[in-house]
């Protein structure tokens, strides 16, 4: 009884002390500058509350679902689902009410986002939660949201305006659900198609990745208004060129390669004001990214002046102890990561306890904790979380999500992301000529068309390829042979059925590729943590296509995949090949419209497609010595080069002209080239500008993309396309990794792809 009285007295005393300051709660006064509000709040916080702001948890419903589906052993290697052994969802609720949790992720319903915020509002200081989600191509991880094409398809459109629009619309849908922070854009440069996450990236070229990443970042963040969210540039750095193409495997790269290839998109994202950055799973040259002081402090903070906060990836600080073994305990792992520059921990229960101990022991100074908490609080104030309505209305939310404007954007983006790779003249299809069409393949009638990072959506919001064909080819007799969704377990009998029916059809369409849906996490063949030792079609898909082609009837193949696939036989033998990537919720309609000519394809490859796994690594911007000897028993050229893509019309490039033949360092060169539509239908051409420094003190790539533009042309129309080459496009890293420009000759190349035969050239000299 005495203890209870004492405790009650202390609680009352604390309440009185706090409420005595209530007349001057600067942090609650929205008229005050953010910096002043942050400092006022920081000064009121206990150590435990500060450390709690640095910690993130998965949502309550996610915890409960994972508990029922995963064993503790399975939990160790799972990077999609989580719960906390020995901890209940009720514990997490209590910690939230006590102000000991600052953030959540994997929360996918308004009911839960509102509930979690209501718990936070019961805490002493009423600090709102910042709730993050992997909204990679729309807020697709939550049901009833617009699902756009994934990043790799978006990059193939070379459309930065579309990238901005998609990000802006995604932010609106997120905020309508009380979500504030997306773990996107992924600005890693994709250099290995075995890596399962190629589809999350904007491709293999640093310049294209940079431009798409900046547009996406700006689209999310806007002016930090009530409909904007925090962007997160990730994963810093080089996770896309890990050994053997395996996610989280070591990256062993020179500093030159890091600075020339991988750093530029991140630097551009920082300059664009990205609010957060996520470190990579991997170790970089022997030092895990999550404790890499050179990356986080020297490069990011001091060299680039990054002002936002850094978040870890999924339990990767723990991996310093249990996988990478640079820390002797979890506590030591937390110490190493914080002292190297980490601000927020994703995710787990031991963080609060051990980090508080480290501060009390004097190993981490309170000033270091304050640095991180200051950055996190600043982001919360910047987003208006302290000043706007804490809760959102489900009815109002659905007026934003899946609205007609967003649906139209998803459809247009899909149309512009699909690459026509081969066509012997069969496309566009003539409905009068091909009256009986057989369609088959694992991706012919499945929500998998939406791609990775997508939850199951209501069927009425997804148009599969079969749906699209029925919409577009209304007078065609369409036969569908279902091959199931799983390429690894295809039924030979269903393959035989498709082959039989192929003989009776006028035309056969096979929708092949990979399986990416996350609700069957362990059964996927593409996407995060689904790396492969080859890039062939999985299962009986190749056999299916070859047998259908052998029927003697015209055959068209469409690929649905997040990574480039080695389809050399298919490219050389079928009548037409389309790479649709992961085109989103309206992908089926867009594919059908392209097949039947309602839409003229315009997309160009954002990655090189190799012939087979033996050509990895194969990128267009390689060094001159790459093919000096080459392979002896196979082709050295790619199956399809970067920047390549066909149209239903023809474009003719005229003579390239430069306004100057010689310049000094402070001058620029204007490039002009006429482009004519010599075909019989309207089209849009993506004109690409490349530069080669012909002689330099360090080896330079054979060509580098330096600019691009999209040109709409009517039949017979000519437009003069102009580019300006400024001195920043001529800079490179010298022998001491310093930015420099050397005098000499530069080759300018403009055309329809990175392939030499597709480029017109001119030369100028820098004095």
Longest CA–CA span in the chain (Å) reads 94
The answer to whether the Cα torsion of 28, 34, 36, 40 is positive or negative is positive
For residues 285 and 251, what is the distance between their CA atoms, to the nearest angstrom? Answer: 6
Gap between the Cα atoms of 148 and 391, Å rounded: 26
Catalytic (active site) residue 680: no
Strand 345-346 relative to strand 55-58: parallel, antiparallel, unpaired? Answer: parallel
Q: DSSP for 300-356, please give it.
A: IIIIT---SEEE--TTTTTHHHHTS-SSSSHHHHHHHHHHHT--BEES-SSHHHHHH
Task: Give me the DSSP letters along 134-145.
Answer: --SSSSTTSSSS
What end-to-end distance do the CA atoms of the chain give, in Å?
89
Distance, CA of 299 to CA of 302 (rounded, Å):
6
Q: How far apart are CA 657 and CA 748, in angstroms?
A: 10
For the CA atoms of 725, 644, 266, 525, the dihedral, rounded to the nearest 10 degrees, stands at 180
SS3 per residue for 55-96: EEEECHHHHHHHHHHCCHHHHHCCCCCCCCCCCCHHHHHHHH
CA gap 568, 198 in Å, rounded:
20
Residues 134, 144, 192, 313: which is the catalytic one? 313
The strand pairing partners of 509, in sequence order, are 439, 556
Give the rounded distance of the alpha carbon of 457 from its chain centre: 20
- Mind telling me the catalytic residues? 313
């Amino acid at each position: 009884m005495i203890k209870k009285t004492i405790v009650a007295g202390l609680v009352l005393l604390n309440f009185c002390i706090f409420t005595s300051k209530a007349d001057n709660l600067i942090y609650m006064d929205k008229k005050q500058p953010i910096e002043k509000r942050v400092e006022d709040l920081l000064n009121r916080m206990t150590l435990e509350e500060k450390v709690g702001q640095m910690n993130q948890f998965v949502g309550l419903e996610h915890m409960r679902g994972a508990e029922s589906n995963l064993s503790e052993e399975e939990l160790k290697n799972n990077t999609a689902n989580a719960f906390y052994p020995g901890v209940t969802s009720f514990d997490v609720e209590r910690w939230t009410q006590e102000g000991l949790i600052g953030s959540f992720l994997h929360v996918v319903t308004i009911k839960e986002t509102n509930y979690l915020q209501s718990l936070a509002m019961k805490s002493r200081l009423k600090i709102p939660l910042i709730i993050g989600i992997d909204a990679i191509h729309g807020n697709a991880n939550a049901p009833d949201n617009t699902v756009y094409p994934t990043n790799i398809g978006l990059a193939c459109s070379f459309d930065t305006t579309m990238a901005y629009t998609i990000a802006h619309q995604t932010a609106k849908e997120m905020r309508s659900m009380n979500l504030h922070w997306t773990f996107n854009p992924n600005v890693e440069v994709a250099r290995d198609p075995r890596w399962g996450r190629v589809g999350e990236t904007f491709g293999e070229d640093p310049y294209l990745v940079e431009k798409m990443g900046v547009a996406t970042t700006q689209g999310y963040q806007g002016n930090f208004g009530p409909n904007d969210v925090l962007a997160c540039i990730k994963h810093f750095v080089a996770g896309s060129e890990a050994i053997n193409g395996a996610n989280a495997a070591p990256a062993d790269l020179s500093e030159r390669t890091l600075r020339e290839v991988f750093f530029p998109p991140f630097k551009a994202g920082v300059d664009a004001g990205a609010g957060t950055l996520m470190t990579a799973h991997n170790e970089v040259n022997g030092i895990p990214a999550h404790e890499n002081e050179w990356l986080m402090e020297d490069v990011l903070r001091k060299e680039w002046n990054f002002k936002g906060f850094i978040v870890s990836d999924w339990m990767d600080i723990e991996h310093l102890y249990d996988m990478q073994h640079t820390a002797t305990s979890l506590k030591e792992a937390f110490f190493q990561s914080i002292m190297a520059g980490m601000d927020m921990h994703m995710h787990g229960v031991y963080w609060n306890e051990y980090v508080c101990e480290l501060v009390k022991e004097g190993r981490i100074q309170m000033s270091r904790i304050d640095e991180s908490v200051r950055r996190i609080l600043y982001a919360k104030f910047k987003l208006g979380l302290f000043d706007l309505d804490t809760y959102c209305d489900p009815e109002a939310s659905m007026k934003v999500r899946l609205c007609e404007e967003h649906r139209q954007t998803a459809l247009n983006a899909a149309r512009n992301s699909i690459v026509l790779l081969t066509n012997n003249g069969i496309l566009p299809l003539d409905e009068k000529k091909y009256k009986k069409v057989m369609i088959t393949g694992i991706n012919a009638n499945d929500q998998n068309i939406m791609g990775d990072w997508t939850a199951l959506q209501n069927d009425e919001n997804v148009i599969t390829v079969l749906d699209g064909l029925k919409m577009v080819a209304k007078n065609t007799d369409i036969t569908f042979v279902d091959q199931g969704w799983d390429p690894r377990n295809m039924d030979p009998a269903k393959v035989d059925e498709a082959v039989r029916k192929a003989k009776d059809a006028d035309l056969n369409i096979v929708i092949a590729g990979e399986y990416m849906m996350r609700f069957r996490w362990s059964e996927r063949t593409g996407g995060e943590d689904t790396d492969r030792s080859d890039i062939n079609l999985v299962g009986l898909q190749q056999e299916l296509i070859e047998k259908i082609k052998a029927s003697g009837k015209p055959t068209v193949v469409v690929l649905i995949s997040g990574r480039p696939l080695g389809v050399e036989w298919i490219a050389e033998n079928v009548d037409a090949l389309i790479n649709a990537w992961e085109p989103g919720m309206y992908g089926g309609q867009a594919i059908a419209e392209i097949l039947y000519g309602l839409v003229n394809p315009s997309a160009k490859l954002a990655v090189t497609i190799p012939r087979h796994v033996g050509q990895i690594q194969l990128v267009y911007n390689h060094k001159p010595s790459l093919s000096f000897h080459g392979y002896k028993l196979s082709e050295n050229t790619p199956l399809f080069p970067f920047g390549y893509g066909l149209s239903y019309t023809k474009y003719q490039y005229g003579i390239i002209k430069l306004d100057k033949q010689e310049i000094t360092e402070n001058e620029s060169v204007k490039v002009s080239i006429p482009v004519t539509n010599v075909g019989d239908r309207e089209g849009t051409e993506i004109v690409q500008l490349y530069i080669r420094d012909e002689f330099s003190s360090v080896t330079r790539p054979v060509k580098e993309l330096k600019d691009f533009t999209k040109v709409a042309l009517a039949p017979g129309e000519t437009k003069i396309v102009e580019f300006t080459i400024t001195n920043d496009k001529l800079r490179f890293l010298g022998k001491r990794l310093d930015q420099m420009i050397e005098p000499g000759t530069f080759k300018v190349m403009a055309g329809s792809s990175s392939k030499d035969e597709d480029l017109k050239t001119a030369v100028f000299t820098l004095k």
